[in-house]
Structure 1
């Protein structure tokens, strides 16, 4: 698709000065304000929960005083001078805030997850089909340098085809029975935003970008709530505000077969475990091991599934062991776009944002909503199976 005239007149939904999380300011805003980003985007409007909240954010982030402030999704959608809308609200607000802009035919970029549940994601897909709106989803980790390096190692062919893949992730919480009060929605399934959906979904997407997809009928899953009672605390004082009972699982385990391909043998097995909390001391938070015909590839990281969150000493490490060798070899990778302006979190988001702005074909640097819906559909299947099993 040919790119629209740049810079694109851009509206941000959810760039707040008071939000519980600051993803818009950490991952998106820095990319829009670089010299290259300014050539692709110009921030024309903000939409928050009220006009006053949008005005406060404009002032807080030192945006131009002529930046428009909107308090409703409908008012934003009705602005003919907006080319692209970027949504960073809480998950359960995605649907209601982007639907009017999609119906208006604007291009829209939504953070993952798409919406609070599969039904709402389906409705957004249908709205985009009818209006012709391009809708991108923030599944940026397919293009992280260590993930691309894994793909390169497999497709290089020197280790043969994939036989099995084993994945183990912890979400890195210091205490999985305690949450900041503003993240209460992690404990309630109806909000659609919790570690398995958010972090697990991100990890599954980049894993499948390396290995290919699963054979649907081979999937066997189990979810559990191991720690049902969660204390919601005031982060400033550490005092417990209240204790709630969660209805969101804190462990996901499933097995499946990988689709056979040029790089994967028929019947190759896949094993995945996601847990809340910390790993055993001295072991990595993330461990992704791929066994091939002539050796193994292993990616480990001391950070949660978002590999770009790694602090010093936690960076992703890749090792290759070749059959017949006594030692594994280290494989180097590096960030190409991390500098004084852009840290790893923003650098990870830069690829899909810029590819989306440049009008590249879906899959070429950005994930479209129909592709992302497959991850949502997979997770929805896990939940349905768990509910059939009694929700234990």
Structure 2
């Protein structure tokens, strides 16, 4: 459905006139409004909770008057002029907003997580198989430059570093505070909605070292701090107190699936705790231990790598055992990425790759790949629930 002759005609779902700090306005819109973005994708329509809401957003963001406004997913799906649907709603709205377009055979880019639960995800996968719809899922941080650089090191440096023997990850964050959440992230405390921060950093790790052998995985989840204060981000005042049913601690241990890059029985140890780390400790400390060297990745301010101008850049270092040399690895954003704020740079990479019709895995994550990952994450949470019942 994509075209090399004219820009892809896209509809954005979830670009709200009241969402000044929404993911759609902060991470997607800047890329689409660059010169490169306009040459690849035309914003031809907005879809919101009502036609009036869509019209209000069209006016707020200065989009052309001929931009179409939709108030229902079904009406959008019926528009034969729309090539691509980009979904940025809250997770619990993904299923109802993208399913009609998938059934209509349109290309769909949906932010992660795919949907709120496994049943919805399975139905979306089956609908895409039947219609032939291409669906990309917003696990775009697999292509963030530090992750891409790490894959290059392991691919090209395999002779010098040898095979991966083990990898260890310690990650802290997800929210800025261990006992509070801003109003906009309240849904992080509600499992039924489906959003959480744990899985983004784990997906980055697995994109570098490889997937886990499902039979080998042992996981332990906890809710260490069940009582959460919801705060107004402007006033910092508590507006509500809730009890979360989403684990704020996860430990995973397993065998990395054997590949050309890994030694047999290479292991991954992953630990996540929501909230701040011990003072002076990086938000992310990640090591990849190889036969002849070790890679150290540290992210001082954010476990999911750099996502805003205020975040410290990710530091990548390689210790070569033969010379005892510690090499500082240089990485950088592309010139194209530097045209937009940091928060939108990885989105830009994947969205453009998908719109250009590149093959799955060449800059974007496909639906079935993402669904497999979602099932693994569900397994962690189900194990926790079973332990609670037991």
Instruction: Report the secondary structure of 1:390's partner residue.
Output: helix
- The residue that corresponds to 1:188 in the other structure is 190
Deviation at 1:236, TM superposition (A): 2.8
Cα deviations by residue, 1:104-153 (Å, 9 ceiling, x for unpaired): 11110000111111221111110000011100011111111111111111
**Residues 297, 238 of structure 1: CA spacing in aligned structure 2 closer, same or farther, 3 A cutoff?**
same
Q: In 1, distance between residues paired with 2:310 and 2:228?
A: 30
Instruction: Report the secondary structure of 1:191's partner residue.
Output: coil
Alignment of structure 1 residues 283-302 onto 2, 5 Å: 283-302=281-300
Cα deviations by residue, 1:22-72 (Å, 9 ceiling, x for unpaired): 111111111111111111111110001111111111111100111111111
Greater mean deviation of Cα atoms: 179-188 or 258-267: 179-188
- The residue that corresponds to 2:175 in the other structure is 173
Among 202, 215, 218, the alignment partner of 1:217 is: 215
Q: In 2, distance between residues paired with 1:76 and 1:226?
A: 43
Q: In 1, distance between residues paired with 2:20 and 2:386?
A: 33
- Native 8 Å contact 2:2 2:83 kept in 1: no
Deviation at 1:340, TM superposition (A): 6.2
Q: In 1, distance between residues paired with 2:103 and 2:345?
A: 31
Deviation at 1:314, TM superposition (A): 1.2
- The residue that corresponds to 2:92 in the other structure is 92
- The residue that corresponds to 1:351 in the other structure is 349
* CA RMSD between the two structures: 1.8
- Native 8 Å contact 1:165 1:271 kept in 2: yes
- The residue that corresponds to 1:123 in the other structure is 123
Greater mean deviation of Cα atoms: 247-256 or 147-156: 147-156
Q: In 1, distance between residues paired with 2:280 and 2:308?
A: 16
- The residue that corresponds to 2:233 in the other structure is 235
- The residue that corresponds to 1:49 in the other structure is 49
Deviation at 1:2, TM superposition (A): 7.2
Deviation at 1:240, TM superposition (A): 1.8
- The residue that corresponds to 1:77 in the other structure is 77
Q: In 2, distance between residues paired with 1:339 and 1:99?
A: 31
Greater mean deviation of Cα atoms: 88-97 or 307-316: 307-316
- Native 8 Å contact 1:3 1:360 kept in 2: no
Q: In 2, distance between residues paired with 1:310 and 1:321?
A: 29
- Native 8 Å contact 2:306 2:312 kept in 1: no
Alignment length (residue pairs):
388
Deviation at 1:172, TM superposition (A): 5.3
Unaligned runs of 5+ in 1: none
TM-score (norm 2): 0.95
Cα deviations by residue, 1:235-274 (Å, 9 ceiling, x for unpaired): 2322222211111110111100011111100001100111
Q: In 2, distance between residues paired with 1:22 and 1:236?
A: 15
- Native 8 Å contact 2:14 2:87 kept in 1: yes
- Native 8 Å contact 1:108 1:136 kept in 2: yes
- Native 8 Å contact 2:2 2:355 kept in 1: no
**Residues 389, 166 of structure 1: CA spacing in aligned structure 2 closer, same or farther, 3 A cutoff?**
same
- Native 8 Å contact 2:169 2:286 kept in 1: yes
- Native 8 Å contact 1:251 1:276 kept in 2: yes
Answering whether residue 309 of structure 2 is matched by residue 342 of structure 1, we say: no
- Native 8 Å contact 1:337 1:347 kept in 2: no
**Residues 339, 115 of structure 1: CA spacing in aligned structure 2 closer, same or farther, 3 A cutoff?**
closer
- The residue that corresponds to 2:154 in the other structure is 154
**Residues 323, 207 of structure 1: CA spacing in aligned structure 2 closer, same or farther, 3 A cutoff?**
same
Unaligned runs of 5+ in 2: none
Greater mean deviation of Cα atoms: 369-378 or 330-339: 330-339
Q: In 1, distance between residues paired with 2:388 and 2:361?
A: 38
- The residue that corresponds to 1:251 in the other structure is 249
Cα deviations by residue, 1:332-366 (Å, 9 ceiling, x for unpaired): 11111366631222221111111111111111111
**Residues 264, 391 of structure 1: CA spacing in aligned structure 2 closer, same or farther, 3 A cutoff?**
farther
Q: In 1, distance between residues paired with 2:345 and 2:377?
A: 27
Greater mean deviation of Cα atoms: 336-345 or 300-309: 336-345
Q: In 1, distance between residues paired with 2:177 and 2:206?
A: 30
Cα deviations by residue, 1:284-319 (Å, 9 ceiling, x for unpaired): 101110000011001111232332315457110000
Instruction: Report the secondary structure of 2:388's partner residue.
Output: coil
